[in-house]
Structure 1
Amino acid sequence: MVNKLENIKEALEGLVDEVNTLILLERGKPVDNIVLAPDYIVESVLKYFTVSNPEFLKRDRSKLYVARRKYCIKLLRDYGLCTWWDIADRMGFKRHRTAMHHHKSMTELLSGEVWGDKSVVNEYNKIVKHLITNSGNHENKDKNQEQKAGKAIKV
């Protein structure tokens, strides 16, 4: 049980890191390596947040992979979710003694199928690589300073 919770924690941290990485790129900051969250966590967060947005789920699924990630990141920024627990808490998974009950629900939520196929995934990776290549990446910049700049999500 603890192991699965750790995996969920890592996956949600990956999503926060992805948001922060893209924010740094948008600001023209150098980024050494892009961090991408696992697909299933993007999917599960979207399943939670898009209940109130059925129009998004009606979109053509063959073009959905990149759109889903961008939309997921937009949601997290709009809601000001800065840490993996912010996301988990917002989705209804608490840290207190009922965590086991919530964890079971989270595990069920994470078991959904991923929509993206490999060709679309590769296309997304190309876009990301292009962003990194053109982000003004210089080795002489202080890496820690740049990483710290991306820790908090500013809405």
Structure 2
Amino acid sequence: MIFRLAEGIARGENFGECLKKILEEKGISPSEFAKRAKIPHSTLYKILSGENPRYETLSKIFSALYEKKKFVALIAARYILEEFSFDRRVRLYPATTLEDAIISAVRAEKEGAGVIVCAPIISGLIEKIVDIPVVTIKPKDSIVEAVKVALEKL
């Protein structure tokens, strides 16, 4: 989408006309897009009517059109993460301390994570820090195994 808009500009087409076509194809109203781009409605309507945008406005328009691919952020100890392989939609964030986990959660949100998966010991705190959903790992089987091993060592 951004590339089509840039191509139109490179070909000398009217920026407003190119943007109008893209908004129509996506089914986005000008007022909705103005909110998303954080520009005044009147400014967007002027652009759609043929007025050339300022650089700052152009930057906001391109940022609003840019579609980041969301991913799942998995925060856990490195040795646990090494045992599994996931598809490209899952990014691994190794953490050995609570501080590492908090930093990883904030970084994951900034990088575009749609959801964070983490241990129960830290999930409550992370939920208070980030504005995306947090899913808690419930390690039932590993807890049972750990207790069995501990009982054998008694």
What is the TM-score when the length of structure 2 is the normalising length?
0.22
Of Structure 1 and Structure 2, the greater helix share is in 1
Of Structure 1 and Structure 2, the greater strand share is in 2
> Radius of gyration: which is bigger?
2
- Greater relative contact order: 1 or 2 (C-alpha under 8 angstroms, separation 6 or more)? 1
What is the TM-score when the length of structure 1 is the normalising length?
0.22
